[in-house]
Amino acid sequence: MFTARIADRLLAACDRRLAILAAATVNTWLVLAATATAQSDPASFANVINIPPGPAPFEAGAATQVNLNAGGALPHGFTARFGSEVNINGGHVGVSFSANAGSVVNVRGGALGQDFDAEANSDVEFFGGEFQLNGVPYLASTITLSGSDVFSGTLADGSPFIVSPLSAEVFHGVHLTAETLPAYDAAPIFVDGSHPATVNGLRAGQGLTMAAGGAIGGTFAVVDATVEVNGGHLAEQLKVSGGTVTMTAGSIGRLHAFQRSQFTMTGGTLGEEGRAYVGSDIHIRGGAVGELFLAESGSRVRLSGGTIGNRLRLNGAELIIDGGTAGVQNRFLHGTRVTVAGGAIGSFEAYGAEILISGGAVGQYAVLNDNSVMELSAGALGRNADFRPGTRLIMTGGAIGMDVTGRSGSDIELVGGEFRLNGVPYVGSVASLTESFVFSGTLVDGTPFVFSDAVGDYLSRVTLTSATLPEIDSTPMVVSDDSLGAPTGLRDGQTLTVSSDGQLPDDFAAVGAAVIVEGGRIGNGFEVVDSDVVIRDGEIGLWFNVYGTSHVEMHGGEIGGGSSIGSGSLFDLKHGTVGAGFVVREGGVANVHGGSFGNNFGLNSSGELNLYGTEFSIDGVPLSGLIAGEPFEIVERNAILTGRFADGSLFSFDLNTRNGTRNRDFFSPEALLTVTLSVPEPATELLAILCPLVVMTARCRRRGQRHVSQGQPST
């Protein structure tokens, strides 16, 4: 029957052929009109390429016919240009196939690669059946896709296909011609090293199991079917619509999960990329996802184990993390909802997203923009969190690292009590914490917190919401086995001993408490306010910071780099190792009888460092005239002070006055630096009691005995 659609296509073809005929004086060829239901006569074209046996070109130009049959393949980026005809009867079509305006493309079979584009004014026709638009049977004879449309079906040779603008595909004015489809065997398909694949995809009701040694390349479409991947390799591009895929081992190249699809992964490897679109459900319980995973609006992703690679991108999707590790650099766009109840996630940027943290750990460098909201009720938020204008943090529990920035226009809400600013109870409901502050308190779950500009915190606006706090349990606590029994922090009057293999988490805070470290480890970012700490063994991680009237006494063990003693606090070092970048801040005091420091030691203005030992020298010249047990102030700077501590350890300090010089110490000219000649036994212990009193006297007479010459020491 000569239908109106066929007539329209013939007229359009005639217009194209007239254009070609006009060029006949140069090219001496004539192209006749293509038929509407089958490929044109090859004799109508100047160039005919059959694949196989011929090699595939990268494009089909004017007056060229390309016929792709079983066993052949078109390369990635193939283009059908104006005046060409491409007939896809089988084989494989690579990624990014384009049908330009004025081209004719007939698709009857084979596997279609990702990014199949039927551009406006192209003449593309699909022959087959089982056509569905968004999961509903589609009976019309033409189709144009837009937005979140998903179009699927089965080609005349029995090969399923899936196309959608969601995966950057263009489907404009494509003609659909129904044909009787070949019957298929509903028996499960098994593919391994001895049983090769015989299908390009799965139709509704079919099932496939992949085992070790099996391999399917190219693009594989799953429409309302079931796949189990227990080994081998399934496709470079796996496209799923309405299907279920379970993966326990093996590998998949790239995943495109469309509406009504479910993907569950307990092992194996998902290669370079995974994409979840509206209506899909992804559950990763194990295994590894490669470089990038994208989840679009309306999709749901759950991570309970395994890993998602470097980048996780969510655009209005829902993400639940209760195990595993997600990404290093992540981005959450408008409408995204992220729930972290366990596991770990790396740094992220949020734009109009909602972040709920009730457990687990969030890495450093969390940046919130565009009215994003974060609720922290448990778990840990790493250092360098940045809350930009219009964003909000509601903190009822959990821990937060240092370098927290709440910019102007943001709001940081702390729900709890026992609020203190620089050691004084704070009764207001709003605070601005921007300089010279130590702000502490207890969240409603009983977890203490500390913010201070000394570690880079800057909070332009803090809203304080009072809430009833749990009662303080003053029973002494011991943590000796991993983190079993470890509290979330220490409040006024509490005592904790860490021994053996005991572990305390990062960003642990103690306010008005006592901590005894006999072994084990306290994590990075340990902060104490008005507390006593005794270290006999074990390890304290990086960035141990001491505030208020705290007293730290160290007899062994190790303190990590970047640590500091703040105003009003005292550090007594008898033995042990202190890492690089240790700073005695303004108003802090350090008495050193032994042990060692890493490089980049800092003594800030009005800080105090008292050294006890023997063999003191400046630039190699011994200090003479020292009196045992009496402090001697060193006023020289930009020189090298060396000596031997009372425990026999050698030391060397660079009295450099330029702060920030790489790998060099810093000693402010306004700081107090003294050396005290150790007293021979048996009077050592008595003088250890008297020396602090003598040091206080030395502060009052700093213009008294001091070293002033540039050459020989004076007495």
| Length of the chain (residues) | 715
CA distance 388 to 453: 18
304: its two tokens: 């309970």
Query: What distances in angstroms separate CA 570 from CA 92, 560, 636, 689, one per listed residue?
Result: 74, 18, 24, 15
Start-to-end Cα distance in the chain: 120
Q: How far is CA 465 from the centre of its chain?
A: 31
Which residues of the chain fall short of a pLDDT of 50?
Answer: 1-37, 682-715
Three-state DSSP class for residue 403? coil
352: its two tokens: 């109009």
Strands 85-88 and 104-107: parallel
Peptide bond into 682 cis (omega under 30): yes
Q: What pLDDT sits at residue 38? A: 67
Q: What pLDDT sits at residue 370? A: 97
CA distance 319 to 339: 6
Strands 509-511 and 458-466: unpaired
CA dihedral (576, 579, 580, 581) positive or negative: negative
